[in-house]
Amino acid sequence: MTTALPLRSRLRVSPFRSRLDDYLVSLARGDLLGAARAHFAPDIRLFDNGAVAAEGLEGVLRKLHPVARRFTMLRGTVDGLVCDRVGETAEFSCRFDGVEVDGRFFRETVSFRQRWHLGRIVEEEQWRGAAAFAQTSGHASAGAHASAGQGLGLPASLSSAAARSAPASSACGQGAAA
């Protein structure tokens, strides 16, 4: 008599989706530095509007520290999450809302494209301002997004490490096998 193994045990289990979800939740809570430390690979490469912004985790953290100190509150809303569990890639946009230490309100929309490997982000591309709008307009699957606050100054390393909430829509459903 043969006994079939449960489906889960026959599939290669990838940490990608659970790590992606954890990353988004960490950022939604405003834990910028913690999210970067927990989810960026030591050799991460960040790009801002097509240009290299930082290389390596230490470089990212150097840029994040002053940004994290700039806000008394920072939260984000993720939209248009599209991911490929097998290819370990994710695309989404995030509208960041916050309060700076001097009391000014802050809002900016940033588009992201991430490449993950073994549960860590190894490359992240970010677009902000007019470039964020152009990037999301070019991806029909990501939905329609507008940049709410062009040029408000989230450095490239912050955009990936800002706050987010659960995505409103996702093409990265639980049914896909990794």
Domain holding 122: CATH number? Answer: 3.10.450.50
Taking the chain (178 residues) in runs of 10, the rounded mean pLDDT of each run is 51 78 84 90 95 95 90 90 94 90 93 94 91 61 34 40 38 46
In this prediction, residue 140 carries a pLDDT of 37
As to burial, measured by CB atoms within 10 angstroms (0-12 exposed, 13-18 middle, 19+ buried), residue 31 is middle
In this prediction, residue 64 carries a pLDDT of 86
In this prediction, residue 158 carries a pLDDT of 42
In a domain, 173, yes or no: no
- How many structural domains compose the chain? 1
In a domain, 64, yes or no: yes
In a domain, 171, yes or no: no
Give the residue numbers spanning the domain of 65: 14-159
In a domain, 111, yes or no: yes
In this prediction, residue 110 carries a pLDDT of 84
In a domain, 89, yes or no: yes
In a domain, 154, yes or no: yes
Q: How many residues does the chain have?
A: 178
In this prediction, residue 1 carries a pLDDT of 52
In this prediction, residue 153 carries a pLDDT of 41
State whether the Cα torsion 101-153-45-146 is positive or negative. positive
Q: State which H helix or E strand residue 21 sits in.
A: helix 16-28
Alpha helices in 45-129 (DSSP H): 57-70
